[in-house]
Amino acid sequence: MSRYCGPRLKIIRRLKTLPGLSKKKPNFRIEPNRKKSQYRVRLKEKQRARFHYGLTERQLLQYVRIAKRSKGSTGEILLQLLEMRLDNIIFRLGMALTIPEARQLVNHRHILVNNRMVDIPSYRCKPQDMISIRDQQRSKNRIQKNIDFYQRDKMSGKVLNHLNLSIQKSQYIGLVNQIIDIKQIGLKINELLVVEYYSRRA
């Protein structure tokens, strides 16, 4: 799967805070007060969602199409689908510092879901799914370092109410309690503008 390998701080400086893309925070420039077209506003929101969750254009369009076929608010369902991806769940649990790092953990077969190895970052987690680390010292050391980083910097609050992280027999266990409430996401992404951007293609 193709993924963005360019300068991340340049993207963050243009699209503002994207915690899933990089843990670094650039110095933001003061932008001149220019009138923005509706297309540009929608494009920016679409790009923020795409880069934060680390998706290709085709993947995001596919998620919008799935959300439109589902019952309920298309925007809310879209964000729920993105938040329930395995790579995002690992990021939210604090096992990875960014979503690209979480994707690498999954691709390299460090992650188990319900005690079964899953190497697909887009795997859609469901309530009561249990996420654990493969019984390998290298995997545990890497994830332990990430969790210690969040505890040291007081960033462990990133674990949301729909998730639970515990230690059982010196093993980190993440549990998906329920489908996420989009009010708890904490991302400044207007999902309706993303849906509107794809309205003619979805």
What's the pLDDT score for residue 1?
45
- Quick check: is 57 in a domain? yes
- Quick check: is 162 in a domain? yes
66 with 101, same domain: the answer is no
91 with 62, same domain: the answer is no
The domain of 104 spans 85-176
Name all contacts of 65-70 with Cβ < 8 Å and 24+ positions apart: 65/202, 67/195, 68/195, 68/202
92 with 75, same domain: the answer is no
- Quick check: is 110 in a domain? yes
Q: Are 16 and 26 in contact (CB under 8 A)?
A: no
Tell me which of 53 and 17 has the higher pLDDT. Answer: 53
100 with 158, same domain: the answer is yes
92 with 165, same domain: the answer is yes
pLDDT in tens, 60-74: 999 999 999 998 899
62 with 139, same domain: the answer is no
- Quick check: is 202 in a domain? no
27 with 63, same domain: the answer is yes
Q: Give the gyration radius of the chain's Cα atoms.
A: 17
53 pLDDT above the threshold of 70: yes
149 pLDDT above the threshold of 60: yes
Beta carbons within 8 Å of 37's beta carbon, 6+ residues apart: none
115 with 135, same domain: the answer is yes
39 with 105, same domain: the answer is no
Provide the number of structural domains found in the chain: 2
Task: Please give the C-alpha separations between residue 84 and each of 15, 35, 87, 91, in angstroms, as whole numbers.
Answer: 23, 36, 8, 11
Among the residue ranges 14-18, 82-86, 109-113, 193-197, the one predicted with the least confidence is: 14-18
- Quick check: is 52 in a domain? yes
CATH number at residue 59: 1.10.1050.10
Q: What is the pTM of this model?
A: 0.82
Beta carbons within 8 Å of 113's beta carbon, 6+ residues apart: 86, 123, 125, 129, 130, 131
